[in-house]
Amino acid sequence: MRKIIYSAVLALVLLGCTETRCPQDVLMRHEDEIDAIIAQMTLEEKVQMLHSKTIMSSEGVPRLGIQDIKYADGPFGVREEVGDGFRPLGWQMDSATYFPTGSALAATWSPELAYSYGNGIGQEARRRGKDVMLGPAINIQRLPVGGRSYEYLSEDPFLSARLAVGYVKGMQDAGTAACIKHFALNNQETNRGSVNVIADERTMREIYLKPFEAAVREGGAMCVMPAYNKVNGDYCSENEHLLNEILRDEWGFKGMTVSDWGGTHSTMGAALHGLNVQMTGDNYLGRPVIDSIATGALTEDIVDAKVREILRLRLAVRPVPEDEANKVQASQPETRAIARTVAEKSIVLLQNNGILPLSPDIRKIAVIGRNADAFTASGGMGAGVKTPYEITPLAGIRKRAPEGVEVDYAPAYKNYLGMFARWTGQTGPDVAVALDEPADPAMLEEALALAREADVVLYFCGTNKTIESEGMDRTDIKLPVGQDAIAYALAAANPNLVTVVISGGPCELASVTECSAALLQGWWNGLEGGTALAEVLFGDIAPSGKLPFSIPFKLQDSPAYALHNFPPEEEAEEDLFGAKYRKDIVGQRGPRMPRYKQTSEYTEGLLVGYRWFDTKFIPVLYPFGYGLSYVDFEYSDIKVSAGQFEMDDRIKVSFTVRNCGNMDAEEVAQLYVGRPEAKIEWPAKELKAFQRVSLKAGESRRVTLSVPVEDLRYWDVEKNGWAVEGGRLDILVGSSSKDIRLNCFVSLIGLK
Ligand code: BGC
């Protein structure tokens, strides 16, 4: 059932599609040419386009000079060339810039930087001859343990949406199509190939679909990747509601959909319910399509419509001639500079007793912890990048430390490689066999000896890309391999302990908070990550990242855990897409994996991340949006453009932010709304606007944030459309979701 919903049409008008150009229109410029092409094609040629040709390409129309479409992962750099089964081909010219991973990009809270980031990857994709980048990955970080949290952006749909739009626009302005993934509700890796996500319509619309909607409508994304999982009963690759009713009919998507690799499940389902290209294989959208037309089960019109949507992308993206691709290194100084800027603005200062920035009097630094010296560009399954180089934190510190300062290093804890250790033959005394293995006494003693002698200890803890990986979720978010105990021991040896957490998703940090003089979230921060970190530590720049997710005291506080929606119960058989099972990833078939309960119920509804913690009064260690600097910022003098607003209006809120310190710094001012008198259920507060503000030492600046009333709508389930609830709206402005400095209220006129 395809419905054009009144409010969706209204929203299109509001987005400016009738007055100005609609971003999807770039796909509609060649309709006559496409008519002519389709008219000349045989059915066989058409069906060739509906499935993979190689693991990273799909067929054009060679007889008519239409090139194949070339894809590459994504999402934080162009992946190296792979052969069948994802085995690297070992080329010389296929390296690319390793950009900071998703949550690091999100910690910049900068749509402008997301634009540059997408643009940089898009430029490199062109140099590598790629038409479609498989990214950005914009699912909501629903679970702190999520294996792909590091690829995804945030627990918040508004922040994710703003960054997704920037990324997609930047990439497509570089001439490369963005394939937003994984549509939709792919929020867990456990059982991802078969899990049936049960979520109510309001939750889907207001939380999980928001970043996708913005990326399509505002960003003009040309390609969408349906996810592996099912949503409310149907696989995403054949989900009428998601692909036809919402994506195409409501959002006006004009481009093509490409199933996640191995995520196509039937000929009729895919053909009738919105899939354009089966990736990979042709067992569903190959010969069986021709047979189904012969029997009358399908019509050629359906195939023509799919071919049209594919050709729209093909003709909108210039094919790179074979003899132009891979002739120069994709990674160039300009694109690497973008990666560095993102890294510089992503680092989050969680606590500081004044030890940072490091004093110029320091003579001896002990860098402790294997993560200081670990390369992070590859691993984690699909999303790795073959980077031309990678400045680790240790290398960055060594390079930046002033002349005469001694920098010593000890790994302190073992390397956890999980199942990869056995399969790749990497075993030995410095490889941990279990995540909760205690610290090795000899390694600890070596670290403590350095710590005792040093003026300051820089301790690098966190996870790695075996612990956080596509294909599996973490079992907990504790610091692994004895890292908590090591932190306490280091603090006892030397109180000048600065701890840096290197991870993509949140970790439990109560222990390191307690014993560290300063604490930073350092991310997997791209090929210049170590340079950026050293700049922050030595005070060349002030830290300005803000958490894109909440860091709870403990995992069990988080919504899906508290409500026992996750982890799922185990059942008898294995899941097909789990990392362990993938011969192409691990070189051999892994042991049978448990199969989990087939449904994942999102009964927490809208209460994801801080929406849950705030609404349920559950304290967190570090809240969403939090991050300190080396200066303090003062907020004052809030003004709002009017007292009452209705649909079509924009609420303009202005205030002054002052840098009270003696160095230049940047602050991310955040605007949340609350609805104390609401009749329907709302989270306690929701992010609705933000701005990164750059302020010289002592400078004040007036900031104006604008909230369109349409962004304040809710999904009215009875009406099956968007509506505005009238009444009082609290406007809360501050430095994090918990640190609200200014407030005022306005009233909204309702609209059903
Ligand atoms: C991942 C996608 C990726 C694809 C191709 C899948 O396993 O889920 O994100 O783009 O593989 O590598």
pLDDT tens per residue across span 298-320: 999 999 999 999 999 999 999 99
Cα 354 to chain centroid distance, Å, stands at 32
CA 148/CA 133 separation, integer angstroms: 17
For residue 670, give the H/E element and its range.
strand 665-674
Yes or no: say if 742 and 27 are a contact pair by the CB < 8 Å rule. no
CA 66/CA 732 separation, integer angstroms: 53
Nearest residue by C-alpha to atom 8 in ligand 1? 260
In this model, does residue 581 exceed pLDDT 80? Answer: no
Q: Is the CB of 213 under 6 A from ligand 1?
A: no
Q: What pLDDT, on a 0 to 100 scale, did the predictor assign at position 511?
A: 98
Using the mean position of ligand 1's atoms as its centre, give its distance from the Cα of residue 667 in Å.
Answer: 35
**With pLDDT > 70 as the criterion, what percentage of the chain qualifies?**
94
Using the mean position of ligand 1's atoms as its centre, give its distance from the Cα of residue 260 in Å.
Answer: 6
Using the mean position of ligand 1's atoms as its centre, give its distance from the Cα of residue 518 in Å.
Answer: 37
Cα 373 to chain centroid distance, Å, stands at 24
Tell which atom from ligand 1 comes closest to the C-alpha of 192: 8
Q: What pLDDT, on a 0 to 100 scale, did the predictor assign at position 572?
A: 55
Q: Is the CB of 132 under 6 A from ligand 1?
A: no
3-class SS letters over 167-213:
HHHHHHHCCCEEEEEEECCCCCCCCCCCCEEECCHHHHHHHHCHHHH
pLDDT band at 7 (very low <50, low <70, confident <90, very high): very low
Q: Of the residues 56, 130, 134, 469, which should be mutated to test ligand 1's pocket, given the most ligand atoms within 8 Å of the CB? A: 134
pLDDT band at 127 (very low <50, low <70, confident <90, very high): very high
pLDDT band at 411 (very low <50, low <70, confident <90, very high): very high
pLDDT band at 11 (very low <50, low <70, confident <90, very high): very low
CA contacts within 13 A on the Cβ side of 225: 28
Using the mean position of ligand 1's atoms as its centre, give its distance from the Cα of residue 605 in Å.
Answer: 27
In this model, does residue 397 exceed pLDDT 90? Answer: yes
Q: Average pLDDT in the 241-264 region?
A: 98
Q: Average pLDDT in the 68-92 region?
A: 93
Q: Is the CB of 261 under 6 A from ligand 1?
A: yes
In this model, does residue 622 exceed pLDDT 70? Answer: yes
Q: What pLDDT, on a 0 to 100 scale, did the predictor assign at position 56?
A: 97
Nearest residue by C-alpha to atom 4 in ligand 1? 261
Cα dist from 688 to 79, 160, 551, 558, 730, whole Å: 34, 12, 21, 22, 12
In the chain, the amino acid numbered 618 is I
In this model, does residue 295 exceed pLDDT 50? Answer: yes
Beta bridge partners of 473: none
Q: Is the CB of 189 under 6 A from ligand 1?
A: no
b/e map of 273-297 (b: 16 or more CB within 10 Å)?
bbbbbbbbebebbbebbeebbeeee
Q: What pLDDT, on a 0 to 100 scale, did the predictor assign at position 660?
A: 98
Tens digit of pLDDT for each residue in 564-579? 999 998 775 556 666 6
In this model, does residue 20 exceed pLDDT 70? Answer: no
Q: What pLDDT, on a 0 to 100 scale, did the predictor assign at position 83?
A: 85
Write down how long the chain is. 752
Q: Is the CB of 73 under 6 A from ligand 1?
A: yes
Using the mean position of ligand 1's atoms as its centre, give its distance from the Cα of residue 471 in Å.
Answer: 10
Residue 301 annotated to the active site: no
Using the mean position of ligand 1's atoms as its centre, give its distance from the Cα of residue 334 in Å.
Answer: 28
pLDDT band at 55 (very low <50, low <70, confident <90, very high): very high
Using the mean position of ligand 1's atoms as its centre, give its distance from the Cα of residue 137 in Å.
Answer: 10
CA 522/CA 504 separation, integer angstroms: 9
Beta bridge partners of 521: 348, 501
Q: Of the residues 81, 260, 469, 582, which should be mutated to test ligand 1's pocket, given the most ligand atoms within 8 Å of the CB? A: 260
Using the mean position of ligand 1's atoms as its centre, give its distance from the Cα of residue 72 in Å.
Answer: 9
Tens digit of pLDDT for each residue in 523-532? 999 999 999 9
Q: Is the CB of 102 under 6 A from ligand 1?
A: no
Q: Is the CB of 183 under 6 A from ligand 1?
A: no
CA 422/CA 40 separation, integer angstroms: 54
Tell which atom from ligand 1 comes closest to the C-alpha of 382: 12
Catalytic residue (choose from 73, 260, 473, 575) = 260
CA 509/CA 532 separation, integer angstroms: 22
CA 61/CA 42 separation, integer angstroms: 10
CA 462/CA 483 separation, integer angstroms: 8
Q: What pLDDT, on a 0 to 100 scale, did the predictor assign at position 589?
A: 57
How do strand 415-416 and strand 52-54 relate by DSSP bridges? Answer: unpaired
Q: Is the CB of 226 under 6 A from ligand 1?
A: no
pLDDT band at 6 (very low <50, low <70, confident <90, very high): very low
Q: Is the CB of 75 under 6 A from ligand 1?
A: no
Q: What pLDDT, on a 0 to 100 scale, did the predictor assign at position 12?
A: 45
Residues 6 or more apart whose CB falls under 8 angstroms from that of 62 comprise none
Nearest residue by C-alpha to atom 2 in ligand 1? 260
Alpha helices by DSSP H, 456-578? 483-493, 510-515, 529-537, 559-562
CA 468/CA 476 separation, integer angstroms: 11
How do strand 727-734 and strand 740-748 relate by DSSP bridges? Answer: antiparallel
Q: What pLDDT, on a 0 to 100 scale, did the predictor assign at position 71?
A: 98
Tens digit of pLDDT for each residue in 176-185? 999 999 999 9
Q: Is the CB of 71 under 6 A from ligand 1?
A: no
Q: Average pLDDT in the 607-628 region?
A: 98
Cα dist from 347 to 176, 344, 605, 657, whole Å: 29, 6, 31, 21
Nearest residue by C-alpha to atom 6 in ligand 1? 261
Residues 6 or more apart whose CB falls under 8 angstroms from that of 125 comprise 72, 78, 131, 133, 171, 174, 176, 330
Q: What pLDDT, on a 0 to 100 scale, did the predictor assign at position 619?
A: 98
Tens digit of pLDDT for each residue in 329-382? 999 999 999 999 999 999 999 999 999 999 999 999 999 999 999 999 988 777
Nearest residue by C-alpha to atom 5 in ligand 1? 261
Q: Is the CB of 181 under 6 A from ligand 1?
A: yes
Alpha helices by DSSP H, 604-681? 610-615
Using the mean position of ligand 1's atoms as its centre, give its distance from the Cα of residue 338 in Å.
Answer: 25
Yes or no: say if 415 and 370 are a contact pair by the CB < 8 Å rule. yes
In the chain, the amino acid numbered 475 is T
CA 65/CA 311 separation, integer angstroms: 12
Tell which atom from ligand 1 comes closest to the C-alpha of 182: 9
Q: Is the CB of 578 under 6 A from ligand 1?
A: no
Tell which atom from ligand 1 comes closest to the C-alpha of 227: 8
Q: Average pLDDT in the 144-167 region?
A: 98
What is the SS3 assignment for 656? strand
Q: What pLDDT, on a 0 to 100 scale, did the predictor assign at position 3?
A: 44
- Torsions phi, psi of 277, nearest 5? -130, 130
Nearest to 185 by CA among 608, 660, 584, 670: 608
Tell which atom from ligand 1 comes closest to the C-alpha of 56: 5
Q: Is the CB of 134 under 6 A from ligand 1?
A: yes
Tell which atom from ligand 1 comes closest to the C-alpha of 186: 8
Tell which atom from ligand 1 comes closest to the C-alpha of 134: 10
Residues 6 or more apart whose CB falls under 8 angstroms from that of 519 comprise 349, 350, 351, 352, 498, 499, 500, 501, 509, 512, 513
In this model, does residue 435 exceed pLDDT 50? Answer: yes
CA 176/CA 458 separation, integer angstroms: 41
Using the mean position of ligand 1's atoms as its centre, give its distance from the Cα of residue 392 in Å.
Answer: 26
Q: What pLDDT, on a 0 to 100 scale, did the predictor assign at position 570?
A: 79
For residue 351, give the H/E element and its range.
strand 348-352
**With pLDDT > 90 as the criterion, what percentage of the chain qualifies?**
89
Q: Average pLDDT in the 422-434 region?
A: 81
- Torsions phi, psi of 509, nearest 5? -125, 15
Q: Of the residues 56, 58, 73, which should be mutated to test ligand 1's pocket, given the most ligand atoms within 8 Å of the CB? A: 73
Q: Of the residues 185, 470, 473, 582, which should be mutated to test ligand 1's pocket, given the most ligand atoms within 8 Å of the CB? A: 470
CA 332/CA 352 separation, integer angstroms: 36
Q: Work out the mean pLDDT of the chain and round it to a whole number.
A: 94
Using the mean position of ligand 1's atoms as its centre, give its distance from the Cα of residue 74 in Å.
Answer: 9
Q: What pLDDT, on a 0 to 100 scale, did the predictor assign at position 210?
A: 98
In this model, does residue 485 exceed pLDDT 70? Answer: yes
Q: What pLDDT, on a 0 to 100 scale, did the predictor assign at position 1?
A: 42
CA 441/CA 73 separation, integer angstroms: 41
pLDDT band at 2 (very low <50, low <70, confident <90, very high): very low
